């Protein structure tokens, strides 16, 4: 099954993102979480690609096992960091052999400091758009790319950033998943910029609920922008009550999902941080949500 086909049905997709844990304990916990969330029948799940070494192997092993031992549809994240084209071909081949047919093509960040100098592998790739092309040439894959509501920190302007996203679409990307954000307007502006360039490639919003006050302080690192002031004000009033913070975070995330679906977002990709409880709760609040029928629309 290809994500691009799922997106064509017009039904919103609901999907979950995991990361490869570093420890055996973390691995075991991840599989408990995966089994718990499998029961929700998400449209697909994705596994991020580590910056190097061991966690990369874990990404591949987890993704292979998702494809062979579960009912879930995995999307393999892959980056160009420290890989020659030959290694990337091998990696793509391994995914194909395991029956993985959906990939997220990313350039990745320099290990250590994400904003440090980007040095291309001497026999590797410079940009995610080249990885899209390589994956497309290597087999029957549906390929997604990253999109940035606030622009990528290395792009000079929002306009330039959209040019690069369009280039990824024109290189063959079938869909995009956004960096996380907290205000629907930021997603809608990105979508409008893409539409203004005449492209209608589905852009899946990625998000997570605020379950702790500290998430707000981490917002800029996670989303590329400060936490929206009007939402922060609501948290300010309850910041000393962890239960109330969590409840407000869930309510805000639910409202965000519903607004995005009302606005025709093709689905929602939930960051799980390898935890089931908050993901399950938010999923249960919104998966049954149906966009209200438009006045005059046929039933
Ligand atoms: P590109 O699209 O190649 O862009 C990189 C930079 O180059 C940008 O500044 C862009 O503006 C510029 N650029 C692009 N094309 C051109 C061009 N033709 N000419 C000049 N400049 C250009 N990282 C991981 O390591 N592992 C993951 O699993 C992972 N998953 C992610 C999932 C999502 C949904 C998102 C949004 C990000 C993810 N990232 C992940 C982070 C991502 O790898 C970094 O943000 C990275 O810096 C940019 O990757 P990209 O694929 O957007 O790169």
pLDDT tens profile 221-267: 888 888 999 999 999 999 999 999 999 999 999 999 999 999 999 99
Confidence of residue 293 (pLDDT cuts 50, 70, 90): low
Mean per-residue pLDDT for 118-145? 97
**What is the spatial distance between Cα 188 and Cα 176, in angstroms, rounded to a whole number?**
14
Query: Is residue 177 lining ligand 1, measured as CB closer than 6 Å?
Result: yes
> Of 10-19, 26-35, 101-110, 222-231, which gets the smallest average pLDDT?
222-231
Of the candidates 207, 126, 204, the residue with the CA atom closest to the CA atom of residue 171: 126
Q: For residue 214, is pLDDT > 60?
A: yes
The active-site residue, picked from 11, 17, 117, 236, is 17
Residue 289 CA, ligand 1 centroid: distance in Å: 32
* Residue 7: strand, helix, or coil: helix
pLDDT at 170: 98
What is the ipTM score, two decimals?
0.98
Pairwise CA distance, residues 204 & 14, whole Å:
10
Q: What is the 3-state secondary structure (H, E, C) of 10-62?
A: CCCEEEEEECCCCCHHHHHHHHHHHHHHHCCCCCEEEECCCCCHHHHHHHHHH
The two three-digit tokens of residue 100, written as one number: 């993985």
Q: Residue 291 — pLDDT band, cuts 50, 70, 90?
A: low
For residue 67, how far is its CA from the centre of ligand 1 (angstroms)?
Answer: 25
At residue 295, the pLDDT reads: 45
Q: Which atom of ligand 1 is nearest to the CA of 47?
A: 28
Are the C-beta atoms of residues 37 and 16 closer than 8 Å to each other?
yes
Tokens of 296: 């005059």
pLDDT at 246: 97
**Contact of 97 with 57, CB cutoff 8 Å:** no
Where does the pLDDT of residue 292 fall: very low under 50, low under 70, confident under 90, or very high at 90 and above?
A: low
pLDDT at 195: 97
Quote the CA–CA distance of 74 and 46 in Å, as a whole number: 6
161 close to ligand 1 (CB < 6 Angstrom): yes
207 ligand 1 Cβ < 6 A: no
Instruction: Describe the strand order of the beta sheet including 44-47 as a list of residue ranges.
Output: 203-204, 175-178, 142-147, 102-106, 74-79, 44-47, 13-18, 267-271, 206-207
298, pLDDT greater than 50: no
Alpha carbon nearest to ligand 1 atom 33, residue:
146
* Longest CA–CA separation in the chain, Å: 59
Position 299 scores a pLDDT of: 39
Percent of the chain exceeding pLDDT 90 equals: 87
Q: What separation in Å is there between the alpha carbon of 291 and the centre of ligand 1?
A: 32
Tokens at residue 37, please?
């969330």
Please list the residues that pair with 14 across neighbouring strands: 268
Ligand 1 centre to CA of 126 (Å) is: 10
Cα of 261 to ligand 1 centre, how many Å?
26
Does pTM surpass 0.90?
yes
Report the residue count for the chain.
299
108 CB under 6 A from ligand 1? yes
Q: Is the pLDDT of residue 137 over 70?
A: yes
User: Residue 247: what are its φ and ψ, rounded to 5°?
Assistant: -65, -45
* Confidence at residue 85, expressed as pLDDT on a 0 to 100 scale: 98
Indicate if the pLDDT at residue 296 is higher than 60: no
Q: Is the CB of 120 under 6 A from ligand 1?
A: no
Residue 213 carries which DSSP code?
H
pLDDT tens by residue, 270-290: 999 999 999 999 999 999 877
Told to judge if 236 belongs to the known catalytic residues of this protein, a careful annotator would answer no
Residues 52-88: tens digit of each pLDDT: 767 899 999 999 999 999 999 999 999 999 999 999 9
The pair of structure tokens assigned to 223 is 């989303």
Tokens 């799940």 sit on residue: 45
């Amino acid at each position: 099954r290809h994500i691009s086909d799922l997106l064509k049905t017009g039904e919103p997709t609901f999907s979950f993102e995991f990361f490869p844990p570093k420890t055996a304990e973390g691995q075991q916990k991840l599989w408990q979480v995966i089994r718990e969330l499998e029961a929700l029948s998400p449209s697909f799940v994705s596994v991020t690609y580590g910056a190097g070494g061991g966690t990369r192997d874990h990404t591949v092993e987890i993704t292979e096992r998702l494809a062979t031992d579960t009912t879930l549809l995995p999307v393999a994240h892959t980056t160009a960091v420290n890989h020659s084209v030959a290694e990337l071909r091998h990696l793509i081949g391994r995914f194909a052999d395991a029956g993985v047919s959906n990939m997220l093509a990313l350039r990745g960040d320099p290990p250590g400091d994400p904003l440090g100098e980007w040095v291309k592998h001497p026999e590797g790739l410079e940009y995610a758009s080249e990885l899209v092309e390589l994956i497309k040439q290597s087999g029957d894959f549906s390929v997604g790319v990253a999109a940035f509501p606030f622009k990528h920190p290395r792009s000079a302007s929002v306009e330039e950033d959209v040019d690069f996203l369009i280039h990824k679409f024109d290189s063959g990307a079938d869909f995009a998943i956004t960096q996380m954000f907290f205000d629907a307007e930021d997603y809608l502006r990105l979508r409008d910029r893409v539409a203004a360039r005449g492209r209608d490639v589905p852009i899946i919003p990625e998000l997570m609920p605020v379950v702790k006050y500290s998430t707000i302080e981490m917002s800029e690192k996670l989303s590329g922008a400060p936490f929206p002031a009007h939402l922060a004000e609501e948290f300010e009033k309850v910041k000393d009550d962890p239960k109330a913070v969590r409840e407000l975070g869930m309510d805000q995330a639910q409202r965000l999902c519903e607004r995005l679906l009302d606005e025709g977002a093709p689905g929602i990709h939930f960051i799980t941080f390898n935890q089931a409880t908050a993901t399950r709760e938010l999923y249960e609040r919104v998966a049954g949500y149906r966009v209200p029928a438009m006045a005059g629309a046929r039933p």
